Structure 1
Amino acid sequence: MTSEATSFVIAFAALLFIYSLVSQKISKTVVTAPMIFVAAGILLSPEGLDLVELSAGSSFVLAVAEVALVLTLFADASRIELRSLGQRGGLQNRLLFLGLPLVIFFGAASAAVIFTDLTLAEAAILGAILAPTDAGLGQAIVSNPKVPVRVRQALNIESGLNDGGAIPFFIFFLVLASGEELNQPVGTLLSLALEQIGFGAVVGIALGLLGGWLSGRASRAGWTSELYHRIEFLALAIISWLVADGIGGSGFVAAFLAGMASGAMGRRVEEEEIIFTEAEGSILSLAVFFIFGVVAATRLPAVGFYEVVYAVLSLTAIRMVPVAISLIGAKLQQQTVLFLGWFGPRGLASVVLLLIAIEEAEGLPGLETISLVVITTVLLSVFAHGISANPAGEWYSKIVAALPEDAPELGEMKELPVRPGLNAPEESMTGK
């Protein structure tokens, strides 16, 4: 292991141990685990105490980030399943099928106007990177019983599926921007992008259906122990990712669709699998936030006025306007629309997609601008959404309490499992 990786592992493990000792106390405050790990990364970076140094383009950093995203994509798709999109009264289809493309479009258009040095393809990459939301940064909202189930589940399902939905856009725009730089024909670029997406989809669906069927048969026959049921969950996600990547497809598309396909086969998402996401999976997520802090610290001196302006717009208008448009006709209160619009935090997926862009399109002229904007936006989101989650939940719960019984917000719908948060107290994690 290189000295760079060794110093990171030692620092991260020590921080994880210390945080674990006081995690229950911290969970009762507005301070979240991502805040702490990002801040620690900044503090220990070369710009701070100079104890940890990481390069955004290093293979070690990319490997940790990719595995974290693969497990998140598979877990979320498996947990939520296709059937969730057919729930009557749900708002998730509006947010996913109309809101998500509009967020990417508004993000790209705003980037093209504010950063005139970006090509249209580069602006679109930025829009796609910042489109996925991370409910883990606002866990107090999606697990708050005072927030109506219909509203909670809209954010829960949207966050679980929109990262997988944004990845094909990201792949397409990244291939387009890289090809334009090399003066490749548009037809060739389209073919390459569709090839990556298509191969990933075929591998993911095939392995997900097969794995889900085998898992169900083994579980019903009583052949699988709880421990190895968790390992099986990990293995299927990793296999899908690596097989697709090995044949020229997108491993992320494969992992996402494998999780969805295994759920469609009736594969049960057991409590131990949710605990897996909350334990082993969360360790990787926190590692990504720590890496993000270290990498961000070295870029912060270069952040300028326009990067901050775009970051603020990304967390407000670029998110809120598409959400409002997608909810036209749902007859929701203005406060509900505002609430849904605000809680679109940017986190894990945006960080990983940025690292992939740095790795795959190193010579892209607009890459530095894209990096600075994403770093600024995620940094603001980690703290703004983490701090505001509890106060906003209390504010909105008072509004809900005053609504008539037949208000659209109060419509009944099935509540799906919530991805365990990185700062959830013990009671919420165990369901007690």
Structure 2
Amino acid sequence: MNTYVVTLFIFGVVVLLTTWLPLALRRMPLSLPICCVAIGIGLALSPFTPLPYMNPLQDATVTEHLSEFVVIVALMGAGLKIDRPLGWRRWMTTWRLLGIAMPLSIAAIAVLGWGLLGLGVASSLLLGAALAPTDPVLAADVQVGPPKTGEEDDIRFALTSEAGLNDGLSFPFVMAAIALAGQGSVSGWIGHWLALDVVWKLATGVLVGWIAGKLLGYLTFKVPETGRIAKTGDGLAALGFTCGSFGATELVHGYGFVAVFVTALTLRSVERESDFHGQLHDFGEQIERLGTMVLLVCFGSILAEGTLLSNIDWRIAAVAFLVIAVVRPLTGWIGLLGCNRPASEKLIVCVFGIRGIGSIYYLAYASGAASFEGISTVWATVFLIILVSIVVHGISVTPVMRWIDKRRGIDSMHPAAATINAHKT
């Protein structure tokens, strides 16, 4: 049997399924990520497939770069589809989730890693940092709609903007875990960490992202009309914007995740009403879906192989339950205390903090940068939490969002009606 031909056939079938499934699953309590994981498990167990069994610990570099690419494409898409202009009061829910809920989540998960899993301080901090960010890739069902559709209520806005920023803001904590793993104590690296990994890299990410967004916005919308990128109508430019912004930032040692999202927000602000934003978003979404499909099929293959998950015991299961059912809802609720929104909406924001591709990236990056005690336990815990999050949130998101939309007089199954009602509010 020709392995190459079989691989092409399987790839084609899976791509077609991921193209069609979102339409088929629209009214069902299932999500595309669940189906992709199931496909990966089925392919790995089939005797007719060339899909290899994979372990991310054995090739962390491939895992790191593939997950990194999917995340930055998702961040560009998330930034482009946010209609709400950046502002302190307009984004107050986001700032609360980032400034209060995320640090509390990191601390709580790190304590669970240290107390229940018996991990060292560095490994516990890595576990907390990797699991703190919500995912811009797998959370599509609870994010705002495409640009200018009006599908941007406070719930979807909060979860989209949080996912867009907390991936980059978690990086300093990952770097702290790497430094701690190498030094063994806080003394000797804390000053360097604060100056470089917190101040410089965050500031550089924001600044380069803003400059890139302004420059690309000028080339896209403001140069003489015949030379505008927008005149091409080609969404492929979104990939150039994403990789250019990310690469430029990383070259000057900034956080590329932060820069990509800031670039998208800035680009959108240069000419907010252009239809070209929709074309950029649509192309980026297709690339993101393709990359997500590949990653989740591989994720399913890893689950089917079983080596990584063989480390799971009651302690890891308990941590997974606590992270999903207690830590995120509780820290999110604390972060939103005093926020003038209905309790039902705040609860949905707190519960649907989906974990996913970003956590895999951070673990792969850290695994290649330093040696961590009990790293296989960390990987097994993160993989179990991602699996549970994909299944639990994937099954519940459709009925929950339909319920809350119905309470607000919005038919989420009809985008036109959603747009009209969103503009009314």
Q: Determine if the TM-score, normalized by the shorter chain, exceeds 0.5.
A: yes
How far apart are the structure 1 equivalents of 2:245 and 2:13? 32
Is 2:234 aligned against 1:238?
no
In the TM superposition, what is the alpha-carbon distance from 1:229 to its structure 2 partner?
Answer: 4.6
Is 2:72 aligned against 1:66?
no
Is 2:382 aligned against 1:379?
no
- Cα distance change on mapping 1:354 and 1:5 into 2, 3 Å: farther
How far apart are the structure 2 equivalents of 1:229 and 1:300? 43
In the TM superposition, what is the alpha-carbon distance from 1:346 to its structure 2 partner?
Answer: 1.1
In the TM superposition, what is the alpha-carbon distance from 1:288 to its structure 2 partner?
Answer: 2.0
Is 2:288 aligned against 1:281?
yes
Where structure 2 has 5 or more consecutive residues not aligned to the other structure, the ranges are 421-425
AA paired with 1:155?
Answer: L
Secondary structure at 1:157 match in 2: helix
**TM-score using structure 1 length:** 0.79
Is 2:295 aligned against 1:295?
no
In the TM superposition, what is the alpha-carbon distance from 1:391 to its structure 2 partner?
Answer: 2.6
Residue matched to 1:327: 336
In the TM superposition, what is the alpha-carbon distance from 1:79 to its structure 2 partner?
Answer: 3.5
Residue matched to 1:123: 124
Mean Cα displacement is larger for which, 107-116 or 194-203?
194-203
| Aligned residue pairs, count | 405
The equivalences for 1:124-203 within 5 A come to 124-134=125-135, 137=138, 139-142=140-143, 149-180=153-184, 185-190=189-194, 193-194=197-198, 196-197=201-202, 199-203=204-208
Deviations 1:276-308 (A, max 9, x none): 122122211222222222234431222221111
Secondary structure at 1:91 match in 2: helix
Residue matched to 1:28: 27
Residue matched to 1:339: 348
- The CA RMSD over aligned residues, in Å, is 3.9
Q: Is the 8 A contact 1:61 1:291 kept in 2?
A: no
Residue matched to 1:37: 36
1:256 to 255, 258, 261: 261
Where structure 1 has 5 or more consecutive residues not aligned to the other structure, the ranges are 402-409, 411-423
Deviations 1:88-122 (A, max 9, x none): 49533322322222222222222222222222x32
Residue matched to 1:314: 323
Q: Percent identity?
A: 23
**TM-score using structure 2 length:** 0.80
- Cα distance change on mapping 1:215 and 1:5 into 2, 3 Å: farther
Residue matched to 1:418: none
How far apart are the structure 1 equivalents of 2:174 and 2:347? 27
Q: Is the 8 A contact 2:144 2:152 kept in 1?
A: no
Residue matched to 1:223: 228
Deviations 1:299-354 (A, max 9, x none): 12222211111111111211011111112222545444332221111122222222
1:356 to 365, 368, 373: 365
Q: Is the 8 A contact 1:69 1:348 kept in 2?
A: yes
Secondary structure at 2:98 match in 1: helix
In the TM superposition, what is the alpha-carbon distance from 1:385 to its structure 2 partner?
Answer: 0.3
In the TM superposition, what is the alpha-carbon distance from 1:35 to its structure 2 partner?
Answer: 0.5
Secondary structure at 1:72 match in 2: helix
Mean Cα displacement is larger for which, 10-19 or 269-278?
10-19
Residue matched to 2:82: 80
Deviations 1:378-409 (A, max 9, x none): 000001001011232345457667xxxxxxxx
